[in-house]
């Protein structure tokens, strides 16, 4: 009798081993048969009372082993079925198909315009010099020959830092001229791009923050003719080989003589349009020969060296190049506006 029961349990164990359910339904049947609430292993535990005392322990262990074998096999079957299902899903993926398009964004029109300017000047040996936006009074004004109470300070309504009459947001990139000349001796050939600030009412034409590129060239025997040729080269590279320039006498405290430079309007070929206000010319920069006072202030020998400088706004040029009619668009970060520059340089 006892041997029979042992054999019966062995038989169930064998059965579990050879049972090989193939699909989810068969696996479920396996579970019901061996692990469900009415499974066939449970009654085997009851048989223990028919087993002689000295065999009870062995019998108990055997039935437990059967139960464990069923549980183990079920777990294996389940995870094999799950990974098969995963693979089947993966089988649909075409690894050679083109990827989902990634939205790469685009360069800002100010960056595009600035990159062009940097590229043009770096080809003739100008290095990029960047410097601070929070500047002191001396570098922004005094060193640039604009002492306190000089009326020219009124041209640039300035943001001063709270509790300070000495620290300010730079009003122009000309401060980088002073920064450069006080830290290095000629020859100096730099362009200084960056953001500048003025206390101006925001409108379609003006903003309290904008960008400039300063230029500075100091060496022996640098003349006004060198400046004119350099700026003509720039204008023709930027706006096309037919572009003409026009220098109009002007005043800046840091240059003598000073000029404002216009380029012939490339939109209407100088015929007259709304961009050039029907004059055929568009003003893009101020320039001049560096005033000897500025050289003196910055510790450069003004008997030995001469030089020229210029400062130009980037917004004005970007607006002209891309025919943008409101400067505020450049600062609003509206993706619908910015996405239009995807294919730009
Ligand atoms: N700093 C002047 C401005 O913001 C622009 C300028 C004019 C810069 C003449 C120069 C220059 O270097 O020579 O209006």
Number of structural domains in the chain: 2
Residue 156 is predicted with a pLDDT of: 66
Residue 206: both structure tokens together: 């003006």
Confidence of residue 82 (pLDDT cuts 50, 70, 90): confident
Give residue 101's pLDDT. 84
Whether residues 270 and 135 fall in one domain: yes
Type and span of the H or E element at 283 = strand 281-290
| 217 and 140 share one domain | yes
Distance 287 CA to ligand 1 centre (A): 6
Q: Are residues 204 and 255 in the same domain?
A: yes
List the residue whose alpha carbon is closest to atom 3 of ligand 1.
172
246 lies in which domain range?
109-334
At residue 155, does pLDDT exceed 70?
A: no
Query: What whole-number distance in Å separates Cα of residue 128 and Cα of residue 118?
Result: 7
Q: Measuring CA to CA, how many Å separate 132 from each of 55, 162, 166?
A: 92, 18, 15
Q: What does the pLDDT read at residue 270?
A: 86
Which pLDDT band holds residue 36 (cuts at 50, 70, 90)? very high
Q: Which of residues 7 and 3 earns the better pLDDT score?
A: 7
pLDDT of residue 126: 98
Residue 180 lies in a domain: yes
Euclidean distance between CA atoms 337 and 17, whole angstroms: 69
One domain, residues 157 and 301: yes
Q: What is the mean pLDDT of the chain?
A: 92
Least confident span in 23-37, 115-129, 280-294: 23-37
| Nearest atom in ligand 1 to 312's CA | 5
pTM over 0.85: no
Residue, of 155 and 206, whose pLDDT is higher:
206
Tell me, in angstroms, the distance from the centre of ligand 1 to residue 311's CA.
4
Whether 178 and 308 map to the same domain: the answer is yes
b (16+ CB within 10 A) / e for 11-38: ebbeebeeeebeeeeebeebbebbbeee
Residue whose CA is closest, atom 10 of ligand 1? 310
Q: What is the CATH number of the domain that holds 147?
A: 3.30.930.10
């Amino acid at each position: 009798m006892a041997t029979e029961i042992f054999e019966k349990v062995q038989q169930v164990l064998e059965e579990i081993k050879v049972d090989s359910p193939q699909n989810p339904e068969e696996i479920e049947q396996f579970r019901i048969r061996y692990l469900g609430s009415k499974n066939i292993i449970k009654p085997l535990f009851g048989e223990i009372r028919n087993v002689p005392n000295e065999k009870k322990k062995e019998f108990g262990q055997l039935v437990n082993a059967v139960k464990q074998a069923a549980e183990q096999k079920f777990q294996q079957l389940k995870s094999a079925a799950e990974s098969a299902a995963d693979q089947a899903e993966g089988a649909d993926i075409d690894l050679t198909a083109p990827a989902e398009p990634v939205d790469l964004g685009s360069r800002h029109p100010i960056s595009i315009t600035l990159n062009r300017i940097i590229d043009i000047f770096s080809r003739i040996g100008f290095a990029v010099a960047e410097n601070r936006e929070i500047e002191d009074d001396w570098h922004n004004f005094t060193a640039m020959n604009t002492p306190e109470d000089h009326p020219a300070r009124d041209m640039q309504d300035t943001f001063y830092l709270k509790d300070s009459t000495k620290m300010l947001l730079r009003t122009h990139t000309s401060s980088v001229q002073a920064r450069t000349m006080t830290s290095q001796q000629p020859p100096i050939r730099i362009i200084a791009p960056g953001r500048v600030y003025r206390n101006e009412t925001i409108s379609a034409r003006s903003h309290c923050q904008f960008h400039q590129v300063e230029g500075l060239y100091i060496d022996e025997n640098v003349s006004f003719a060198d400046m004119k040729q350099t700026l003509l080269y720039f204008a023709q590279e930027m706006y096309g080989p037919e572009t003409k320039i026009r220098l109009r006498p002007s005043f800046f405290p840091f240059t003598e003589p000073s000029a404002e430079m216009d380029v012939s309007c490339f939109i209407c070929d100088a015929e007259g349009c709304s961009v050039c206000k029907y004059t055929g010319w568009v003003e893009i920069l101020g320039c001049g020969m560096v005033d000897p006072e500025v050289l003196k202030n910055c510790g450069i020998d003004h008997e030995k060296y001469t030089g020229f400088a210029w400062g130009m706004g980037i917004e004005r040029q970007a607006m002209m190049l891309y025919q943008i009619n409101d400067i505020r668009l450049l600062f609003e970060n509206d993706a619908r506006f910015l996405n239009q520059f995807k294919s730009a340089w």
